[in-house]
Amino acid sequence: MKHVAKKRFGQNFLTDQTIIASLINAINPQKNQTLVEIGPGLGALTKPLLKKIDHLHVVEIDRDIVSWMQTEYAKPSYASNQITIHNIDALKFDFSKLGNQLRVTGNLPYNISTPILFHLLDNLAHIADMHFMLQKEVVERMVAQPSTPAYGRLSVMLQYHLSMEYLITVPPEAFEPAPKVESAFVRCVPHTSLPFVAKDTALFAKIVMAAFGQRRKTIRNTLKEYMQDEDFVHLSLNPQLRAENLSVKSFVDISNFCSNK
C-alpha cells in the first residue's frame, strides 16, 4: 500500500527490519496472551506479532489504514479472525473491555504520546505490561531520576505507578518519513504493589503539577497553597529545594501530610 503519512495523526512508519526484530524480541509475545497494538499503521509490528500470537487487537484512528488492514489481513496468509480492528481514537478507547492482563504496545503518535500514557494509567488495573516507541526525549523524561534535567511531572506520575526500562534507541532513518528526532523503545510494568501509597491520588496529582508548574521556583513558593514553613520542618524537607530535587516518595509524603490536615 502506498500511504501518505498524515501529519495530523503524527504518522511515521517504522521500516528497519533489524530494529523491528529487536522490538518483537523485547516484547516476547506468547500465543495465549491478549495483545493490543496502538497505531498499527502499515504492519511493521502487527505482521510479526501475528506470527507469534493467536489473536491481536489493534486500535487505529485512520480510516484509510483501517480499510487497508481489512483487506490485507483477510488474505489467506493470515488466520481467519486473528485480528480485531478498533477504528477509534486511542484516547477514547476503553481498554478494560478487552479483559485483564493486557499487553499493550505500539509506535505512539508523538504529538499525543503523553495524553495516551495518562489515559492508560486509568486502565492500569487491566494491564500486565506496555512496550512503546516514543520520542527519545519523552522516554528519557519517563525514566529520569531526581535532580536531573529530564526529571519532571511525567517522571513522578509514571514512576508512581510503573517500573520502566529504557530498552533501545532508534534513529530517524529507521522510519518513513524520517522524524526530526531520535526515538526510543521503553518497557513499562505496573508495580505489583505500590512502593509508596498516596491516600488521595487526586491531591497527589495536584501537588505534583503545582510543584513543577514553575520549576525554577522553590517548593516553598510553588506549594504555598498546600504547605506552611512548619509543615516542611515536620516532614524534614528543605523548603529551598525545587520540585526536581524531590523523589516520588517525597511527593507522596507531602500529599499524605496535606490529606490529613
8 A C-beta contact, residue 187 and residue 103:
no
Domain definitions of the chain by residue range: 7-190, 201-259
Percent of the chain topping pLDDT 70: 96
Report pLDDT for 10: 45
Quick: pLDDT tens for 101-146.
999 999 988 888 999 999 999 999 999 999 999 999 999 999 999 9
Report pLDDT for 9: 42
Superfamily for 7-190? Vaccinia Virus protein VP39 (3.40.50.150)
8 A C-beta contact, residue 153 and residue 159:
no
Report pLDDT for 11: 54
Superfamily for 201-259? rRNA adenine dimethylase, C-terminal domain (1.10.8.100)
The reply to whether domains 7-190 and 201-259 share a CATH topology is no
Residue 239 has pLDDT above 80, yes or no: yes
What separation, in Å, do the N-terminal and C-terminal C-alpha atoms of the chain show? 61
Report pLDDT for 4: 45
Q: Which residues pair with 131 in a beta bridge?
A: 105, 187
Quick: pLDDT tens for 58-109.
999 999 999 999 999 999 988 888 999 999 999 999 999 999 999 999 998 8
pTM: 0.91
